Structure 1
């Protein structure tokens, strides 16, 4: 699959399901204390007023939460339908359409980058380029937060909520992700892994890496 192919597939999928997705996961962070703890710790590491981009922001729930913790947030997503929800729910935050692989930002401009379950649609051979782009836009001392499902096999979603779209959600191993991020010149600060919560429809653990650009 080419870069253009997976970007198009991801955009098409989320444009189709945006409103259903946003409604289904409306209270997601309120129900997940461990995620809130990781996000709060990340906000403290970045520091109040730090400029942070939430890349692959979806409906903007994580973006809004981090803004409430004192960060200067912006959001970026492939899906205009997701961005419409993010703008509607977070009128004070700037959201733009675009690809994480080609950020329209100068080098070293950000205090933080967040990729909360958004790298899961990036093919493994594109991850080095993705992490290099994260590194490029971070200032020295800036922090990266990466969230993803743990595992070795993708989860395939076919016709969610009856929409005629399909997409694979890649699962990764924290050890392998750390190797790739270290190769991209990041230093790992923490790795948090929580077990799956079947009540949320989960079947695998979830991992959260916080890294620093030296």
Structure 2
């Protein structure tokens, strides 16, 4: 039996423990934020420009982003490490496809999706494992297909020990400069097309990176 990395097991257990609180927090988050809506619309346009097809929302949580992508006309499905989150996504969005899986060992065929979305899911992946994760993203994405990342901006790591209703958690949250992440994308075979900072002067800035798998 393969050995599961401690950080991966801790992340799974932590998010299983906070399903209800997290789902309540993110409900309506896209509808209330024009830049998030615009980013998802841009992603949808990129998928259609590349010929269309299924898209995967990696780290889908309770499925709210997957459902928004479906509302935009995409054939979207979600993958999440947490079985509890997947159960909640299936309950809240019946008829949509959600699967338990890890981005460190993505169980999808080569070149099987037309787009990859990963919002706030790389933030728990240690630096030394990011290259492997991006390699999986590149492998499953069709040539010319778009990839969109959303992540916390900064340069450091903190241990999150509770959250989403006060439940205990044990996850490391990695904040990274966009240029570093862009470099990792290029090393993995992606062409970086755009970068957007959200709340750049605030306490919790975020960044979008829009990229495309090179043919």
Question: TM-score, normalised to structure 1's length?
Answer: 0.92
| Mapping of residues 135-174 of structure 1, within 5 Å | 135-160=138-163, 161-174=165-178
Q: Deviation above 3 Å: which 4+ runs of structure 1? A: none
In structure 2, the residue matched to 1:44 is: 45
Residues 73-88 of structure 1 mapped to structure 2, 5 A cutoff: 73-88=76-91
Partner of 2:28: 27
Runs of 5+ unmatched residues, structure 1 = none
Q: For residue 197 of structure 2, what is the aligned residue in structure 1?
A: 193
CA contact (8 A) 1:195 1:205 kept: yes
Q: Secondary structure at the match of 1:27?
A: coil
Q: 1:122 aligns with which of 125, 132, 138?
A: 125
For residue 182 of structure 1, the aligned residue among 181, 186, 207 is: 186
Measure, in 2, the Cα distance between the counterparts of 1:119 and 1:158: 18
Deviates more, 1:178-187 or 1:3-12: 3-12
In structure 2, list runs of 5 or more residues that go unmatched. Answer: none
Mapped contact 2:112–2:140 kept (Cα < 8 A): yes
Aligned-pair Cα RMSD in Å: 1.7
**TM-score, normalization by structure 2:** 0.92
Equivalent of residue 62 in structure 2, options 55, 59, 64: 59
In 2, distance between residues paired with 1:159 and 1:112?
33
Whether 1:100 and 2:103 are equivalent positions in the alignment is yes
Q: CA deviation at 1:197?
A: 9.0
For 1:93 and 1:155, the matched residues in 2 are separated by 34
Question: What is the CA distance between 1:49 and its match in structure 2?
Answer: 4.7
- Residue 179 of structure 1 deviates from its aligned partner by 0.4
How many residues align? The count is 209
Q: Within 2, Cα distance between the matches of 1:121 and 1:80?
A: 17
